[in-house]
Amino acid sequence: MTPDYLTLVSIHKPLGVTILVLALIRLVVKIVKGAPPLPASMPEPMKLAARLSHLAFYLLMIGLPLIGWGMLSAAD
Q: What is the pLDDT of residues 56-67, one digit of tens each?
A: 999 999 999 999
- pLDDT at residue 9 in the model: 83
What does the DSSP assignment read for 32-71? Answer: HH--PPPPTTS-HHHHHHHHHHHHHHHHHHHHHHHHHHHH
The structure's pTM equals 0.79
- pLDDT at residue 21 in the model: 96
pLDDT along the chain (76 residues), means of 10: 85 92 95 94 96 96 92 82
- pLDDT at residue 10 in the model: 87
- pLDDT at residue 36 in the model: 92
The amino acid occupying position 58 is Y
